[in-house]
Each structure stands twice: as C-alpha cells, then as structure tokens.
C-alpha cells in the first residue's frame, strides 16, 4: 500500500533523527503490571501506589459522609446538600428502576460501591497519580465477587434453595428445552455475570489509561521536532478532550457497575421478571 | 494479513540462517500480528450494536420525552452489556500482544 508507506515515512524520519533512540518511545508494559512496594514489601500486606489509591477511595467518602451527617439539619446546606443529592441520585437512577421501592435497604452497599469505584477511577486524570486504581484486575474482581455473593445471598435468603431452581429452570419453558436452557442459564448467571462485571470495569479503565498515555507520548515526541510541532495543535487538544472524556467514563463506569449490581439483586429478589 | 505473513516469513528466514526456530520470536510475531485483527474484529459487532441501540433510544426519547429518564437508564444498561464484547476483545488484544 503506497499510502501507508507515505504515512509511515515521517515516523521512520523520527527514528533516524531523534536523540537517544528516537521515535515514539512508549513506556514498557511492565509499568502497568509491576508496581514497586512502598513498605511491607514481600508480605501479603505489601503496600504500593494502587493500594494507597484504593485506601484513599475508601477513606474519602467515609470522611465526607461523616462530616455531612454529623450536624444534619432538616434543611440541608453545603456539604450535606451535596451528599444528600448523591444519595438521591443512587435512589432515583439506580434503585428505583432496577430493584423497585423495596430495594432501599441495599442503598448503603450500592452507595459505598459507587463512591469507591468513582474515586478510584478519578485517579486516572488526577495529576501525579495518573493511574486508575481499578485498572488492576484485583479491585474489579473483588467488587464483582462482592456483587456475586450479594445477589446469590439475596436470592437464597428470600426464596431459599428455590432460587436456584427458578434461576436454572425458568418456568414456562417446555420440558425438553431444559436440556438447552439450563446449561446456558448456569453459565450466564453464575459464571459470566461476575466475570463480565469485573472485566467491563477493568478493561474500560485500562483502555482509557492507555489512550491517555498514547496521546501524551505523541505530544511529548512531537515537542522535540521543530516543524512537526505544528501537529501538536491537533494532538494536544485531543489529549485535553480525552481527559475530559475519561472524566465522564470514570463516572459512567461507577454508575454502570452499581446499576448492574442493583439489576442482579433485583433479579434475585423478584425472579418472576 | 500480508504484513503478518511477511513477518512470519522473516522469522522463518532467520531460522534458516541460524538453523533453529526461536519459538519466543515466532510467538511474539504471530501474537503482534493477530492482536490487531482480534481487536478489530471484536469492535465490529459492538460498534453496530451500540449505534443501533442509542439510535433507537434517541427515537424513543424524541417520541416520548416524558419517559426519557427510564429510557436513558435502560440504554446505559444495554450499552454496558453490548460493550462487554468489545472490552473482552481488548483484553484478548492485551493478552496476545504482551503475554
């Protein structure tokens, strides 16, 4: 393809001209998966940057809610107002459509899940951190296991072992079709659900992180080439725009994770529909 | 596809010179070539699906603005389910390329 050759020609130029190897120098992929321990190295309690961000994501909402709830007034002002509207958001957007009016008792769990994921995700665009806590598989996997145990537990609590019968042998299906339906339901409800829940959050945050890294590397590389620096007029606004986009994705993924957890809990609570 | 087979041919040619196939190099070459295809193919279906889904949601919201909130929640749910396939494709890309 001659067009492709034209496209790659300037990159070959970079490689020839740049100092210290030149070209687009991406950080090695090990930077994503190997994090130096800060302290307690080589123990199960090893503490690194990801653990620190997870801890912040856990502590910040706790402090915010404690301050907001300490002097609660009937007519909320300031911080209390903000936290109450976030509660209202979870109630109206997540619990009411997904579980129904009897789902309010799951509000604390969904609320803490939402805030933990959201603040963990926000580290993606906070300068000096620039790495979402949920771009390591451990965090989403743990949250997905919590959601998995929760919806199975709710089903067993409210319907006994009949929950598994309802889930695996949905009523109104011809007897012979159970040969086909039951394995599919088993796979999709009890295995693929937690897996896709975890992978959705993990892959979204990792993809966003890699996207931002790509554009940053591009901008830095172009900065060193006098005439090609003009391209920065395009690529730098794209970097800014993608940062804004990732701000939205961070919120959206936290929302979708808590919404899906609520949908699964709702499905276990009212298996009829 | 030709780029992939060219690269593979290069590895084999090198093997001809040294007399042995380096399995790590062959795996890395094939992995890098197929990683792009894996993600590209995985993006087609969800792309069409999300486009259709959001289009229908916009239509529903335009016809019945009073139900916009409910349609929006359901739309995000549908997007989350559809998008999972593309994201699994992305994970496969990472696995093929780097693992």
pLDDT at A146: 95
Nearest CB among B70, B74, B84 relative to A196 is that of B84
Sign of CA dihedral A130, A133, A136, A137: negative
Residues B21-44: pLDDT tens digits?
Answer: 778 888 888 888 888 888 899 999
Find chain B residues with C-beta within 8 A of A196's C-beta.
Answer: 84, 88
Of A204, A196, A192, residue with least CA distance to A253: A204
pLDDT at B16: 63
Q: Find the angle CA(A252)-CA(A49)-CA(A110) to the nearest 5 degrees.
A: 35
Residues of chain B positioned with their CB less than 8 A from the CB of A29: 98
A22 confidence band (pLDDT: 50, 70, 90): low
Q: Chain B: which residues have CB within 8 Å of chain A? A: 69-70, 73-74, 76-77, 79-80, 83-84, 87-88, 90-91, 94, 98
Instruction: Give me the residue from A199, A203, A259 closest to B76, CB to CB.
Output: A259
Looking at chain A, the whole-number percentage of residues with pLDDT higher than 70 is 91
Q: How many CB atoms lie within 10 A of CB A103?
A: 21
d(CA A177, CA B20): 54
The Cα A82–Cα A76 span in angstroms is 9
Residues of A in contact with B79 (CB under 8 A): 256
Q: What is the pLDDT of residues A183-209, one digit of tens each?
A: 998 998 899 999 999 999 999 999 999
pLDDT tens for residues A75-131? 888 889 999 999 999 999 899 988 888 889 999 999 999 999 999 999 999 988 889
Across the interface, which of A203, A260, A263 has its CB nearest the CB of B87? A203
Record: contact A252-B77, CB cut-off 8 A? no
Name the residue among A127, A137, A111, A145 with its Cα closest to residue A54.
A137
Least-confidence region, from A16-30, A221-235, B22-36: A16-30
pLDDT of residue A128: 87
Q: Which residues contact A150 (CB under 8 A, 6 or more apart)?
A: A109, A261, A264, A265
Element (H, E) at A59: helix A49-70
Is the pLDDT confidence value at A251 over 90? yes
- Taking only the tens place, the pLDDT of each residue in A24-64 is 777 887 888 888 888 887 788 888 899 999 999 999 999 99
- CA dist B69 and A92 (Å) reads 10
Most B CBs within 10 A among A7, A196, A255, hence the mutation to make, goes to: A196
Domains in chain B, CATH or no CATH each:
2-98 (1.20.20.10)
Q: How far is B19 from chain A (nearest CA, A)?
A: 31
A189 contacts chain B (CB < 8 A): no
**Which of A144, A145, A131 is closest to A51 using CA atoms?**
A131
CA dihedral sign of residues B90, B42, B48, A181: negative
- Confidence tier at A132 by pLDDT (50, 70, 90): very high
- Phi, psi (degrees; rounded to nearest 5) at A63: -65, -45
Q: Count CA atoms closer than 13 A to A104's CA, side-chain side.
A: 5
pLDDT digits (tens, 9 = 90+) for B72-91: 888 988 888 888 888 888 88
Q: Is residue A39 classed as helix, strand or coil in its secondary structure?
A: strand
What is the pLDDT of chain A when averaged over all its residues? 86
- pLDDT for B69 equals 83
| Cβ contact, residue pair B77, A259, below 8 Å | yes
Helix (H) or strand (E) holding B54: helix B23-63
Q: Which residue of A has its CA nearest to B80?
A: A256
Contacts of A106 (CB under 8 A, 6+ apart): A95, A99, A262, A265
A213-to-A4, A90, B65 alpha-carbon distances in Å: 24, 32, 40
Q: Where are the alpha helices (DSSP H) in A95-192?
A: 96-98, 107-122, 138-159, 162-168, 178-187
Q: What is the pLDDT of residue A97?
A: 87
**pLDDT of amino acid A232:** 86
What value does the CA radius of gyration of chain A take, rounded to a whole number of Å? 24
Q: At CA A84, angle to CA A81 and CA A85, rounded to 5?
A: 85
Q: What is the pLDDT of residue A19?
A: 45
Residue A224 — very low, low, confident or very high, per pLDDT cuts 50/70/90?
A: confident
Average pLDDT over residues A134-159: 93
Nearest to B93 by CA among A216, A210, A169, A225: A210
């Amino acid at each position: 393809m001659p067009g492709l050759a034209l496209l790659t020609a300037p990159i070959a130029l970079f490689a020839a001209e740049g100092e210290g190897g030149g070209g687009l120098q991406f950080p090695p992929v090990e930077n994503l998966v190997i994090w130096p321990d800060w302290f307690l190295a080589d123990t199960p309690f090893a503490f690194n940057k990801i653990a620190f961000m997870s801890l912040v994501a856990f502590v910040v909402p706790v402090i915010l809610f404690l301050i907001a709830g300490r002097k609660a007034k009937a007519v909320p002002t300031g911080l209390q107002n903000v936290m109450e509207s976030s509660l209202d958001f979870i109630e109206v957007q997540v619990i009411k459509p997904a579980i129904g009016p009897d789902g309010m008792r799951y509000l604390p769990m969904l609320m803490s899940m939402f805030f933990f994921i959201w603040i963990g995700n926000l580290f993606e665009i906070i300068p000096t951190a620039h790495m979402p806590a949920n771009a390591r598989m451990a965090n989403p996997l743990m949250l997905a296991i919590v959601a998995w145990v929760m919806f199975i537990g709710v089903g067993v609590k409210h319907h006994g072992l009949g929950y598994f019968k309802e889930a695996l042998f949905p009523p109104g299906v011809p007897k012979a079709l159970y040969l086909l339906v039951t394995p599919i339901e088993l796979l999709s409800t009890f295995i693929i659900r937690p897996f896709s829940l975890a992978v959705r959050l993990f892959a979204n945050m990792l993809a966003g992180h890699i996207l931002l890294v790509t554009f940053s590397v591009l901008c830095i590389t172009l900065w060193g080439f006098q005439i090609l620096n003009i391209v920065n007029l395009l690529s730098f606004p794209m970097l800014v725009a993608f940062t804004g986009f990732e701000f939205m994705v961070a919120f959206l993924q936290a929302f979708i994770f808590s919404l899906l957890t609520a949908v699964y809990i709702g499905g276990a609570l009212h298996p009829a529909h | 596809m030709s780029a992939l087979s060219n690269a593979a041919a290069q590895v084999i040619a090198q093997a001809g010179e040294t007399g042995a196939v380096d399995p790590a190099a062959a795996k890395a070459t094939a992995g890098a070539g197929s990683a792009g295809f894996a993600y590209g193919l995985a993006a087609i279906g969800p792309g069409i699906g999300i486009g259709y889904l959001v289009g229908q949601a916009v239509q529903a919201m335009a016809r019945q603005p009073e139900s916009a909130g409910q349609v929006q929640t359901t739309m995000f749910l549908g997007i989350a389910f559809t998008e999972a396939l593309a994201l699994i494709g992305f994970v496969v890309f990472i696995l093929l390329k780097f693992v």
